[in-house]
Structure 1
């Protein structure tokens, strides 16, 4: 059975309250006023009716009646039935108005908090280093930024509700103490007994929340992988296999949901049993032991009938909050990890300019989860405006070396220079602003050609600039033939275009940033001969105008390069390496 720890919940509560303390204070005041007016409304009409001569048979409310009479005298109102009923209407109207304001204010702060958390987590994720990102599943990030953030937002609303119910219960109990402190203490005792009985249930709910979180993450992972690969799944007739995999996880999730319902049902059963027992004991003790007047006992039962549902709702909201504790903990841990792996802010750091050469000195790199390095002691020089080919068998570290040069990864040992500037933590992010990266998997979204190109310049590119880079990438011809030209929607992931057209758009987009270094990582490996030739033609036009680093298996793609760097796989008896220029 999972150990119930409320530390993440306490952290979440503090974070939520500190998010907007002024608004939180206003909401708490509104809750207090609502609770106060609701409690006054409960007893207000009875003592006033007694003052004006109605026989209500209650003897323990003289103090309340006197206070109410003083209030009427202060307001210079005549104590009669119409004025009493009018005041009662005003009290109920005030309660309704307070509830309206509470609904608006709590919803506003809940949505603002969700927005704050999502933006903060996403910004932390974007600002964390690439090595940390690739060690995690993208589906986990997606789940945290969507479902879990919404779950935390719901939990923040639960926190406000719990605070409200605590205030209402306290005020209601205070009125009960005015009538009979003995019976009120008994009510508190029954509430504590119910809490003790429900403690094992709360632990089960906490464990269910943990399992549900894991199941939701698995569903997100399956959906992320399968929806992207639907064409492959169908081509292998693997629909049933993957559908069964989803069904298995969904069944487990259903089981956890039913467990939560079962625990809530147990809570309700205990509440009803404890309530009927407590009501019976209240009435018996009040009549036989305390000799409380019948009307006072009935009024106490009315008050307790309002108090116990408040306590029941408090317990229900608390259980829902306990169920959210794993989500609180998961979001908090992810936030902390992202912050711990954050890159140095480069907004005030000037980007290094490539005026002469890029140098790698004794570069070694090893992934954290691997036992041996990808490569060791790499030394090479890339001069400005050179076209360099990086070749070698799969697993030799070509993409890793390109990521190091691009500033995405940090060398385990060694140094990388742009001219005389060491590309360390201080300058690595600033250096990336001078680089464009084109991979085999193009990043295109469901929008126009224009939007897919110009986002890299914050949509500041002119039509002339767009056509210019499209021409450089040998993509202008097919774009002009599209139904709406630059304003044609290209579909999700650019699916309305061919593979070669997508790659040429990606190349055009990279050129729009006017990079000092352009890296192409297997950008032509999945293309047919005709499209590969078009990309080659585009690269020939770029040769000598900017620094090019090309990773490719095809000899035709790299036949016109200025320099060829070959990496070989690591030999058991060798400290890796082979760089041939």
Structure 2
């Protein structure tokens, strides 16, 4: 168990209130920082003691130089052997030591803040990457981006000011001890003033938390609209929605700006009022000390310095606390998203009844993939995307999935890819069941995939291809890359690019045509050395001649690779050795093309008869 782990009441941790959010924040910070909080606390105490000792030295120092008309007092005779020069040197040493310790503490606070934001972002990224596929598809990408980029940073800023306020809070007892030594009466008055200030600031604290919640909602809406604009810019321009979307975006920015201005305005007015009250209290304290208590000038000056420092520190704590309250909803949003993602992580699924078989071996399939009574739906009470599927994808053959839009072809492809666990039935690989997240991850290492909307990373052609080699544990030399490009009918156009393999492809491959992206995606899939290759309409953007060349490559590859094609073109379907026809999530027919064609009237609707 890490040091400084807070044992907070479960009721606090579960509460949907600012107290609950703060309790979860403390719990999360302590679990992350561990022993480092101990080192930070030690530095804080050392700095506070050094600063307090420096303040205590001021009164005898002032007396030694004749301020107030006196010499070192009776209680300060211990300074007499040091002399004025020695006492001044001691004062400088104490102040310099405190400054050095404060600098070291600031460095540690900054490191903790940066480490914490990385910690939150890393957790979110790992949780999202490990989600069960159906849950991942329900996840709003803009919410994830906002949490990783924005809310995690705000939560880390809250941590920084929490640590700073904790450091300042340690200074309060030391400063009070100095003030008590000089004037217990005045110190009691200062404590009463502090209690009054805390009572008056409670409404401001609640308002800061409300503004924090509004900021989270506003940033989520802003990111959502921006993501939709970027993804749908073609449609927006096609139907002339530019002005309308610009007005909506301006509204979102105005809402976010208003929340930020409101928080800054609140903080500024609170600071101004507090400083005014503090100045008034300091003036009254000096008058009372001189006129009523008849305190000597040196003591009065030190008391003024102590009170000024005390009031400044209290003001800093209040400002920092409002920033922490404003950041709590951001941390709560990160934790909420993290918990939802973790609930749907693959590893959180019910484990298989028996240890999963190791499906990551490199030997090619000998029997094929069998689907035994498979049923899949995307929500527990939703319709069945697939129902009662009993069929086989034969090994070392080309199988085509056919069906109208919504028939379940992509769902079946996701199942074969190992992304989805069947809700009913099972999938068997050469007779071995694939059950549980570990088995599906193992199986995915043997499957290559080319989607209809081919995705390329915003990098060079070389990098986009080489990542498949590295993932497969093989070399990524140019010879191997060019061999895959030749197979995918992509070598000629890559050679014609300005920098060849080192040409940048743009965001998601936007600098290439659809057909070029598809061919590069196919080359990448081949470089992964798959036992099963799944192509989801992967030749839809190719002309007839290019498609025929790709199909000829498939004909050669099927000697060692099991190939699954999702297709609508009659030429592609008729090319297959085995055809699976789906309709409304059910299996209509399966078998060789001539048999399926004769038995399935559904093909007439697909213009394939």
Q: TM-score, normalised by structure 2?
A: 0.85
Task: Give me the whole-angstrom Cα distance separating, in 1, the residues matched to 2:209 and 2:28.
Answer: 21
Question: Does the 8 Å contact 1:470/1:505 carry over to 2?
Answer: yes
Change (3 A) 1:350 1:535: closer
Residue 260 of structure 2 is aligned to residue 257 of structure 1? yes
Per the alignment, residue 573 of structure 1 pairs with: none
The superposition leaves residues 398-419 of structure 1 with CA deviations (integer Å, 9 ceiling, x where unpaired) of 1111112211112121111112
Q: Aligned to 1:303, what secondary structure does the other structure show?
A: helix
* Higher mean displacement: 484-493 or 521-530: 521-530
Per the alignment, residue 504 of structure 1 pairs with: 519
Residue 312 of structure 2 is aligned to residue 309 of structure 1? yes
Per the alignment, residue 507 of structure 2 pairs with: 492
Residue 186 of structure 2 is aligned to residue 183 of structure 1? yes
Q: TM-score, normalised by structure 1?
A: 0.89
Question: Does the 8 Å contact 1:60/1:179 carry over to 2?
Answer: no
Residue 525 of structure 2 is aligned to residue 515 of structure 1? no
Residue 385 of structure 2 is aligned to residue 374 of structure 1? yes
The superposition leaves residues 533-555 of structure 1 with CA deviations (integer Å, 9 ceiling, x where unpaired) of 44434433333431111112222
Q: How does 1:377-416 map to 2 (within 5 A)?
A: 377-416=388-427
Residue 284 of structure 2 is aligned to residue 271 of structure 1? no
Deviation of 1:514 after TM superposition, in Å, equals 1.0
Q: How does 1:56-205 map to 2 (within 5 A)?
A: 56=68, 63=75, 65-66=76-77, 69=79, 78-205=81-208
* Higher mean displacement: 113-122 or 292-301: 292-301
Any stretches of 5+ residues in structure 2 without a counterpart?
A: 1-14, 349-354, 592-609
Deviation of 1:280 after TM superposition, in Å, equals 5.5
Task: Give me the whole-angstrom Cα distance separating, in 2, the residues matched to 1:518 and 1:469.
Answer: 14
Question: Does the 8 Å contact 2:446/2:531 carry over to 1?
Answer: yes
Q: Aligned to 2:390, what secondary structure does the other structure show?
A: strand
Task: Give me the whole-angstrom Cα distance separating, in 2, the residues matched to 1:58 and 1:32.
Answer: 33
Question: Does the 8 Å contact 1:399/1:521 carry over to 2?
Answer: yes
Change (3 A) 1:463 1:221: same
Task: Give me the whole-angstrom Cα distance separating, in 1, the residues matched to 2:554 and 2:516.
Answer: 15
Change (3 A) 1:536 1:218: farther
Deviation of 1:247 after TM superposition, in Å, equals 0.6
Task: Give me the whole-angstrom Cα distance separating, in 2, the residues matched to 1:79 and 1:158.
Answer: 40
Deviation of 1:316 after TM superposition, in Å, equals 0.6
Question: Does the 8 Å contact 2:218/2:255 carry over to 1?
Answer: yes
Deviation of 1:527 after TM superposition, in Å, equals 4.1
Question: Does the 8 Å contact 1:388/1:563 carry over to 2?
Answer: yes
Deviation of 1:125 after TM superposition, in Å, equals 1.9
Any stretches of 5+ residues in structure 1 without a counterpart?
A: 73-77, 571-575
Per the alignment, residue 11 of structure 1 pairs with: 24
The superposition leaves residues 551-577 of structure 1 with CA deviations (integer Å, 9 ceiling, x where unpaired) of 12222222200111111126xxxxx55
Change (3 A) 1:324 1:531: farther
- May I ask how many residue pairs the two structures share in their alignment? 565
Task: Give me the whole-angstrom Cα distance separating, in 2, the residues matched to 1:118 and 1:454.
Answer: 27
Question: Does the 8 Å contact 2:68/2:296 carry over to 1?
Answer: no
Per the alignment, residue 458 of structure 2 pairs with: 446
Deviation of 1:331 after TM superposition, in Å, equals 1.4
Per the alignment, residue 223 of structure 2 pairs with: 220
Task: Give me the whole-angstrom Cα distance separating, in 2, the residues matched to 1:380 and 1:95.
Answer: 76
Q: Aligned to 1:80, what secondary structure does the other structure show?
A: helix
Per the alignment, residue 8 of structure 2 pairs with: none
Task: Choose which of 371, 374, 381 in structure 2 pairs with 1:363.
Answer: 374
Task: Give me the whole-angstrom Cα distance separating, in 2, the residues matched to 1:92 and 1:520.
Answer: 71
Deviation of 1:292 after TM superposition, in Å, equals 5.7
Per the alignment, residue 352 of structure 2 pairs with: none
Residue 344 of structure 2 is aligned to residue 333 of structure 1? no
* Higher mean displacement: 499-508 or 358-367: 358-367
Question: Does the 8 Å contact 1:366/1:372 carry over to 2?
Answer: yes
Deviation of 1:223 after TM superposition, in Å, equals 2.2
